[in-house]
Amino acid sequence: MKNFVRIGGVILTLVMVMAAGQCFAQSASDLKINEVLVINDSNFVDSYGERNGWIEIFNSAYNSVDIGGMYLTDDPSNPKKYWIPKGDPITKIAPRHYILFYANNNPTRGIQYLNFHLKENGYLALYESNGRTLIDEIKLGDQKSDISYGRLSDGGNEWGFLEKTTPGANNYTGVKVTAGEKFVLLDPYGIGMAVIAMSVVFLALILLYLIFKHTKGLYTLDMKTLFRKKDPAVIAAPVSREEISGEVNAAIAMALHMYVGALHDHEETVLTIKRVARTYSPWSSKIYGLRNVPR
Amino acid sequence: MEHHGSFLSFVRDHLGQFFTYTAFANMTFGHIIMICVGLFFIYLAISKEYEPLLLIPIGFGILVGNIAFTPGFQIGIYETGSVLNYLYFGVLQGVYPPLIFLGIGAMTDFSSLISNPKLLLIGAAAQFGIFGAYAIALLLGFSPAESGAIAIIGGADGPTAIFLSSKLAPELLGAIAISAYSYMALVPVIQPPIMKLFTTSKERLIRMKPPRSVSKTEKAMFPIIGMLLTTFIVPSGLPLLGMLFFGNLLKESGVTKRLADTAKGPMIDIVTILIGLTVGASTQATTFITTKSVGIFALGAASFIIATAAGVLFVKFFNLFLKEGNKINPLIGNAGVSAVPDSARVSQFVGLEYDKTNHLLMHAMGPNVAGVIGSAVAAGILLGFLA
C-alpha cells in the first residue's frame, strides 16, 4: 500500500512538473502581435522624427504583463534575434494596452528599436524568455504602402488590412455597440430578459432545492456502521431515529438555558471591600516589578 | 490714517473673498432640498427606527455631500484626490458590497431554508420585480445598462444594488442606492397593503409545519454546495455570492468563530459606516437632482411592489400543488424580496394580526435569505447580459 502511494506521488509530481513546463510565465500567452505597418512612406512618425515600419503588441489580459526578457524575430531559424531588455517600466504592458516596436535595424536608439527591418512577405514572431516557446507569429504577405495589416479587432483571430492605422490604439475604429444595446435591439420590451433571467434564477434555486431535498439522509449516515461487517450472531434491534422538530429543540435549549442560569446565584449588587489577611500578591510584588533592571 | 483706510479695505476685500468660499455663497435651492432629505432620513432613523444603521450614515452623508463649496480645493466627493473621493473608491469599484455580503453570510442562519428547501423558490419568484422594473425602465427611455441598474432596486438589497450600478451605470449610483435603501426602510409601510390585497382571510390563517432540526453537517455543506452551484451557473455573481457563502461557512464550520465574529461584527460595521456615508455624500445636489433621479425613485417603488406581489402570488400558485398540511402561508411571500430581516418581520406582524398564535417569522426567514441569493444571482445575470 505504501509503495502504491509512493508511486502515485511520483507520478503526480511528474505530471505537475510537465504541466508547469507548458505554462507561460505571467500570462505571456496573452500577448498578441496585433498590428504591423511594413511600408511607412507618409504614416506614423517615431520620437526621432523618422518613419519606420512598426509592430504593435497587444496585452489581451486583464492584468499587466511584462514583455521584458522576451524575443522578437523576423527569422524562423533564429528565435532569439532581438532580446527585449528587462526591468524597464515601458515593457510592462497595462491590461488591454499596447506597446510599439520600431523595425529600423538600429537598436542603439532604445529598447523599442529592433535590429531588423520588416519586409514584404516576411515573417514576424514573439518568443518567450526561454527563446523556445512561441507566443505568437505572423507570416506577412504582400503589403501596401501606409496601410497597416492587423487583427480586425484587438486580440481577435481575423487578420486584414485596416481602414485606419492605429498604433497604440484600438484596431476596430467603427461604432461600438455595447452588449446591452445589442440585447435591447433583439428584445426591446425586456420580455426576453425577464424570461431568460427568471429561468436562470429559478434553475439555480431549483437545483439547490433538489439537492437539499434529496440529500437530507446523507448527512445523517453513519459511515462506520455502513461499512462494518455484520456479525450474523448479533442481531441488532432496529434503532428508530425520531425526527425532532426545531420547536422541540428550541424548548430543550430554553430549559437547559434556564437550568444553567439558575446555577448562578444572582447576588445583591453590593460591593464589599474587605482587607485580606495575606497582604502579598504578585501584583504588588517588588521582585517582579517592571521597573527592575534585568540582570 | 491712509494706512488705516487701506487696512479696512484689505479686511473688507478678504472678508468678501472669504464669503465667496462659504457654503452660504455657493448654496443653491437643490442643496437646501437635499439637506432637508438628509434631515428627514435622520428623523426616520431616530424617531421611527426605520433601518437606523443605514439611514443615519446615509442621512448624515447627504448633509456632508450637500455643503456647497467652491470647487478646486479637493473637498467634494467627486474631486479627484479628496478624502471623500478616496473613501468613495470602495463604492465605485464595488469593493464594499462584497465585504458587506461577507458579514451578512456570517450572521445568516440558513437552517430554516435547509429544513424546508421549497421556500427557496419563493426567493426566486420575488426577483420578478427586478425584471418587471427593467421592462418599464426600457419603455421610459432609459438605456439597457441604466435600466438593469435601476431594476435591481427591486431586489431590495442595498449592497447588490450598489455593486451592480457601480458596474452598469456609475453616474446613477447615488440615486439608485438612496432609492434602494429608502424603500428597504419603508418595507413595513409598502408591503402589508399588497400582502392583504392578494390574500384571502382563509389563506392568511394557514399554519405551516414547524421546521425540522438541521444537522451541523447540513449547515456546513450548504454554503459550499450553494456557492459552487450558483456561481457555476452565474459566474458574474461571484463577488457577491462567493463572499456571502464564505461568510456563512466561517459561521457554520464551527472552527473559525473568531473570523466569523470579526466578519459579522467590527468589519461589517466599518464597511457599513463607509458605504452609508459615501453613498449619502454622493447625492451632491448638482449631480443628483435630475429628472432621471425622479424616474429612478418611481421605478424603485414599482419594482418593490411588483416583487412583493410576485412573491405572494407565487406562494398561492405553489399551494395548488401542495397537499393539505404542507401548504405555505402566502403572507411569507413578501419575504422573498430580501430586505433581511425586515420583510420577514413584516410577515410575522401581518400574520399575527389575523391569528395571535401563528408565528411566521421562522418560516419567512427561508424565502428572506433565499431572496438574498436570488437577487445576487439576478445581479449576476444582468451584469452578464448588459455589461
Confidence of residue A245 (pLDDT cuts 50, 70, 90): low
User: Helix/strand/coil (H, E, C) string of A68-94?
Assistant: CCCEEECCCCCCCCEECCCCCHHHEEC
Cell of residue A163, nine digits: 481602414
Q: What is the pLDDT of residue A282?
A: 66
Q: What is the pLDDT of residue B263?
A: 95
Nearest Cα residue to A61 out of A34, A91, A84, A31: A31
Residues B16-45 as b or e (16 or more Cβ within 10 Å = b)? eeeeeeeeeeeeeebbeebbebbeebbebb
| Domain membership of residue B109 as a residue range | 94-386
Question: Which residues of chain A does B143 touch, with a Cβ-Cβ cutoff of 8 Å?
Answer: 180-181
Beta bridge partners of A139: A123
Decide: residue A99, CB within 10 A, 0-12 exposed, 13-18 middle, 19+ buried.
buried
Question: Which residues of chain A does B118 touch, with a Cβ-Cβ cutoff of 8 Å?
Answer: 209, 213
The shortest C-alpha distance from B164 to chain A (Å) reads: 14
Confidence of residue A190 (pLDDT cuts 50, 70, 90): confident
- For B168, residues 6+ apart whose C-beta sits below 8 A from its C-beta are A180, B145, B146, B148, B149, B382, B383, B386, B387
B128 close contact with A: CB closer than 8 A: yes
Residues B250-287 as b or e (16 or more Cβ within 10 Å = b)? bbbbeeeeebbebbbeebbeebbebbbbbbbbbbbbbb
Question: Which residues of chain A does B134 touch, with a Cβ-Cβ cutoff of 8 Å?
Answer: 190, 193-194
Pick one of 3.40.120.10, 1.25.40.90, 2.40.30.10, 2.60.40.1260 as the CATH number of A28-161: 2.60.40.1260
CA distance B387 to A178: 7
Task: Flag whether B369 is in a domain.
Answer: yes
Domain residue spans in chain A?
28-161, 180-214
pLDDT at A16 over 60: no
Task: Flag whether B16 is in a domain.
Answer: no
Q: Tens digit of pLDDT for each residue in B315-348?
A: 999 999 988 888 999 999 999 887 777 888 899 9
Query: Cell numbers 454546495 label which residue?
Result: B225
* End-to-end alpha carbon distance in chain B: 70
CA distance A289 to A295: 13
B244 close contact with A: CB closer than 8 A: no
Quick check: A209 and B233 CB within 8 A? Answer: no
Confidence of residue A23 (pLDDT cuts 50, 70, 90): very low
Task: Flag whether B363 is in a domain.
Answer: yes
Task: Flag whether B24 is in a domain.
Answer: no
DSSP A294: P
Quick check: A194 and B143 CB within 8 A? Answer: no
Quick check: A201 and B218 CB within 8 A? Answer: no
Q: Considering its fold, how many domains does chain B have in total?
A: 1
Nearest Cα residue to B372 out of B333, B335, B330, B345: B335
Q: Provide DSSP, A215-278.
A: SGGGGG--HHHHHSPPPTT--PPPPP-PPPBHHHHHHHHHHHHHHHHHHS----S-------S-
Within B66-205, where are the H helices?
A: 83-92, 96-107, 111-115, 120-125, 128-139, 144-151, 158-168, 173-185, 187-197, 201-204
Task: Flag whether B150 is in a domain.
Answer: yes
pLDDT at A19 over 60: no
A188 close contact with B: CB closer than 8 A: yes
CA distance B29 to B15: 24
CA distance B251 to B223: 10
Task: Flag whether B260 is in a domain.
Answer: yes
Amino acid at the residue A18: M
CA distance B285 to B239: 31
The shortest C-alpha distance from A89 to chain B (Å) reads: 24
CA distance A239 to A221: 13
Q: What is the pLDDT of residue B346?
A: 92
pLDDT per residue rounded down to tens, chain B (387 residues): 555 668 888 888 888 888 888 888 888 888 999 999 999 999 999 998 888 888 899 999 999 999 988 888 888 888 888 999 999 999 888 899 999 999 999 998 888 888 888 888 998 888 888 988 899 999 988 888 999 999 988 887 888 898 899 889 988 888 898 888 888 888 888 999 999 999 999 999 998 888 777 888 889 999 999 999 889 988 888 998 999 999 999 999 999 999 999 999 999 999 999 999 998 998 888 778 888 888 898 898 888 899 999 999 999 999 999 888 889 999 999 998 877 778 888 999 999 999 888 888 888 988 888 888 888 889 988 988 887
Q: What is the pLDDT of residue B149?
A: 92
Task: Flag whether B56 is in a domain.
Answer: no
Which of residues 323 through 362 in chain B touch A, CB cutoff 8 A?
A: 362
